Amino acid sequence: MPKLIVEGIGEFEVAAGKRLVNALKEEVASDQLHACGGQARCTTCRVQFIEGEPKQMTVAEKGVLEARGLTGVRLSCQIACDHDMTIRIISRLEGSGRKDCGGPCAADIEPKPVAWVS
């Protein structure tokens, strides 16, 4: 099982292949935002990697990050926990003014079809 370390929160074991956004909600019990329900549209699920950043990203993630001019962050809804990683949560419910973290995210990475780029 991959190890997920979340800065300032703790260390957690996560089922291999689980979406990072779901691990942050279910195992970590964090208030990580995911306003679009894990569809790679809103960028509220941003995280910063301290160690173990995946080498690839989905085409959807790359497109939305480029469109918004974001660098140095990744979208937790587009990342599978398939290796050990250490992250910092960037977007949290606390102080956001939103009523909740966001709707449920499917178990598999969306939107389909998932295509990867390096």
Is residue 96 within 8 Å of residue 58, measured between CB atoms? no
Phi, psi torsion values for 52, nearest 5 degrees: 80, 25
Residue 22's contacts (CB-CB under 8 Å, 6 or more residues apart) are 38, 105, 107
Cα separation values, 1 from 47, 50, 103, Å: 21, 19, 26
pLDDT digits (tens, 9 = 90+) for 4-24: 999 999 999 999 999 999 999
The rounded percent of the chain whose pLDDT value lies above 70 is 100
Q: What pLDDT does 69 receive?
A: 96
Q: What pLDDT does 113 receive?
A: 72
Q: What pLDDT does 116 receive?
A: 85
pLDDT digits (tens, 9 = 90+) for 43-97: 999 999 999 999 999 999 999 999 999 999 999 999 999 999 999 999 999 888 9
